[in-house]
Amino acid sequence: MSQTWWRGAAIYQVYLRSFADGNGDGAGDLAGLRSHLPYLKDLGIDAIWLNPWYPSPMADGGYDVADYRDIEPVFGTLAEAERFIEEAHELGIKVIIDVVPNHSSTESAWFKEALANPAARDRFWFADEPLNDWQSIFGGSAWTQVPDGQWYLHLFDPGQPDFNWNNPEVHQEFEDVLRFWFDRGVDGVRIDSAALLIKSDTAYEDLDEVHDVYRRWREVADEYDERILIGEVWLPDQERFARYLRPDELHTAFNFDFLSCAWDPADLRRSIDLTLATHTPIGAPPTWVLANHDVTRPVTRYGRADTSFAHGGALHGTPTDLELGYRRARAAALLAMALPGSVYVYQGEELGLPEVEDLPDEVRQDPMHARSGGTNPGRDGCRIPLPWSGDEPPFGFGTGPGAATPWLPQPESWRKLTAEAQRTDLGSMLNLYRTALRIRRELLGDGTLTWLPSGEKVLAFTRDSGLTCVTNLGAEPVPLPAGEVLLASGPLVDGLLPSDTTAWLSPQG
């Protein structure tokens, strides 16, 4: 792979707890991931991004980190993580891990020290009374009182106390943590809640000083060969967003503007044009994201009357045409994979899994659900353990006859969606992703696009290689430009591209 492998990479997101359970305890782990590396190699991805794998009380699925230099025992050991990194590298797959710098866990050594000793509280935000009326992003107050009467700030769950980035020790700690993992061969880090680190008395989002943090991190990354920083930056203003991608800051950031788009030609084209216009001048490659562990799965999203995504779960349980959603998710996947830059695939997206919307309340684990008083269903429905094989739960998620029930229940209907069932079905979502990723590796990825003239319900463009991508978002079938169809998300009808379908046409000449 080139010096700049990340500019056009296909990155597969592994939510470890739900990927594969190697020891049969009901939770995914490193043993399960290692045993499925050949599946990922065969899928054709360039890199794996793992959600947090550190020791954690799991107040927020591992985003409450108790120790940044070790592995959660449920997932395995540090030695196993090192072995996994080597094995992935042997297969030509890069490894990206999650770093969580905005907050820690109440079980971290620093927070325990702070609780025991009021003189050791400056690494967090403690005060005699709440300094403002901020609400936690998961609901409820962002301040919680400790037994001696002081209060601490947590933008998320009370189990996730926010760091005070005015304290130099916090800066030093994270630079050391980056080196700890880069020394172990990790190729990049995904930075959680990257825009929230710096706080003033009245604001916490996107304060200018946060860029100083990432300039320093970039220096650390640049001490190594080809290590990258990826930001989780949810900002409505794309100009502000692009500031994180200046040449001496982060390498890339997730394109949530694109993810949040409705399945609508004008909205998608607006987002694509805006993305290119903000990234090109600073030389940063765009990213294309349809799914992750925080958002409603595309098959479900695209099957609703309102196909856009917004946090808060307001559309949860609204009428959904899953067949329509599935068809659009296929078309969206080919569109995203054809655009210039890197692309993310969230585990299960390649299987066409829908959101599970009928989980009983008592099994829900996401703090969003509890802290919203049940009004927000939370994110468990996109985190259901993967179905690998067989006809009934746990669908090969846990190996062996004694495998425990998975930590979240899988729907019976997923028997049709297992990786095993899809492997031999040429028309399956899995095979669409495999073929698309193979073609993409050769003809797509980093570069530019040229829009082709088309009707207003059609998105049509040509890439540097000459490959043409056409997506029909209108109701009527449309003719395709000249060229051989390399791949289509659904069958053509009389040579025409039907509604909600994408086709890739081979380079001409």
Contact residues for ligand GLC, defined by CB under 6 A: 60, 63, 100, 156, 192-193, 232, 293-294
d(CA 102, CA 108): 14
- DSSP category for residue 433: H
Min separation Cβ 52 and ligand GLC, Å: 8
d(CA 47, CA 1): 11
Min separation Cβ 156 and ligand GLC, Å: 5
The DSSP-derived string for 236-278 is S-HHHHHGGGSTTS-SEE--HHHHH--S-HHHHHHHHHHHHHH
d(CA 313, CA 255): 20
**C-beta closer to ligand GLC: residue 51 or 501:** 51
**C-beta closer to ligand GLC: residue 156 or 163:** 156
d(CA 141, CA 119): 25
φ/ψ of residue 450, rounded to 5: -125, 120
Min separation Cβ 261 and ligand GLC, Å: 19
Min separation Cβ 139 and ligand GLC, Å: 12
Continuous H helices in 58-200: 78-90, 109-116, 168-183
Catalytic one of 86, 90, 122, 223: 223
**C-beta closer to ligand GLC: residue 5 or 156:** 156
Min separation Cβ 89 and ligand GLC, Å: 26
- For the question of residue 223 being annotated catalytic, the response is yes
Min separation Cβ 193 and ligand GLC, Å: 5
Min separation Cβ 49 and ligand GLC, Å: 11
Angle at 194 between CA 214 and CA 354, to 5 degrees: 140
**C-beta closer to ligand GLC: residue 187 or 366:** 366
d(CA 123, CA 409): 39
Min separation Cβ 449 and ligand GLC, Å: 29
**C-beta closer to ligand GLC: residue 17 or 123:** 17
Q: Contact, 192 vs 99, CB < 8 A? A: yes
Min separation Cβ 299 and ligand GLC, Å: 20
Catalytic one of 192, 294, 350, 366: 192
Q: Which long-range contacts (CB under 8 A, 24 or more apart) does 415-423 make?
A: 415/387, 415/390, 415/391, 417/351, 417/352, 417/353, 417/387, 418/351, 418/387, 418/388, 418/389, 418/390, 419/39, 419/351, 419/386, 419/387, 419/388, 419/389, 420/388, 420/389, 420/390, 420/396, 421/389, 422/351
The one-letter code for the residue type at 17 is R
Q: Contact, 134 vs 202, CB < 8 A? A: no
Per the rule left: phi > 0, alpha: psi between -120 and 50, beta: everything else, 421 is alpha
- For the question of residue 60 being annotated catalytic, the response is no
123 is written with which tokens? 């690494």
**C-beta closer to ligand GLC: residue 8 or 161:** 161
d(CA 56, CA 78): 14
**C-beta closer to ligand GLC: residue 138 or 181:** 138
**C-beta closer to ligand GLC: residue 57 or 507:** 57
**C-beta closer to ligand GLC: residue 5 or 152:** 152
Inter-helix orientation angle 168-183/210-222, to 10°: 30
| Residue 404: closest CA among 56, 57, 21 | 21
What is the number of the residue whose Cβ is closest to ligand GLC? 63
Cβ-proximal residues to 343 (8 Å cutoff; 6+ apart), any chain: 9, 10, 11, 287, 288, 289, 336, 337, 440
Q: How many CB atoms lie within 10 A of CB 453?
A: 7
Q: Contact, 404 vs 26, CB < 8 A? A: yes
Query: Which residues are marked as active site?
Result: 192, 223
